[in-house]
Amino acid sequence: MQRPEKTEYAPFYETYVSLVDETDVIAALQNQLTEMQALLGEIAEEKGAHAYAEGKWTIKELIGHLNDGEKIFAYRALRIARADETPMEGYEQDGYIENANFNEWRLVDLTEEFALLRRANILFFKNLPEEAWTRAGTANDSKVSVRALAYIIIGHVRHHTNILRARYLNQ
């Protein structure tokens, strides 16, 4: 599959799309699932409430945010792939974190939720008809294509995984 053109997503998503070199997005989604399960499986439960600085998310909140992102970006991809032209609003990530109580979750449950969501997203993207990949719709007041959303999903997780490794786990 070809990479999405810059006209297929809002400029603020370039941070994520630029992190994805792969053209086989299904393999990239699968490989990232394996990597995330290994990485998150190494984190001790008691470290889940750790934040690297005052006012920053905890590890559990970061993983919860990734899970919310999987849901929201996949929902957008689903609607656009099905040719639903109804514009979709954006979401306020900090409000989602404040109201999710992720720190009350067990780390293993957050990790399992990520795995289940990712498996569902892999099946969804794997079975899309060819013409659905380039369909575009409106989300957060910006044009976005289905293939751009697949790249955004991968890049979003990469972006936050880089932060997790560098700032939380000192890797």
The CATH number that applies at residue 29 is 1.20.120.450
pLDDT at 171: 79
Q: How many domains does the chain have?
A: 1
Does residue 71 lie within any of the structural domains? yes
In a domain, 134, yes or no: yes
The ranges of the chain with pLDDT < 70 are: none
User: Which residue segment(s) compose the domain that 143 sits in?
Assistant: 8-168
- Are the C-beta atoms of residues 160 and 40 closer than 8 Å to each other? no
Distance CA 151, CA 18 (A): 9
* Residue at 1 is within a domain: no
Identify whether the C-beta of residue 142 lies closer than 8 Å to the C-beta of residue 10: yes
- Domain assignment of residue 2, yes or no: no
> pLDDT tens, 33-55?
999 999 999 999 999 999 999 99
Residue at 123 is within a domain: yes
| pTM of full prediction above 0.85 | yes
In-domain check, residue 114: yes
Domain annotation covers residue 3? no
Residue 33 lies in a domain: yes
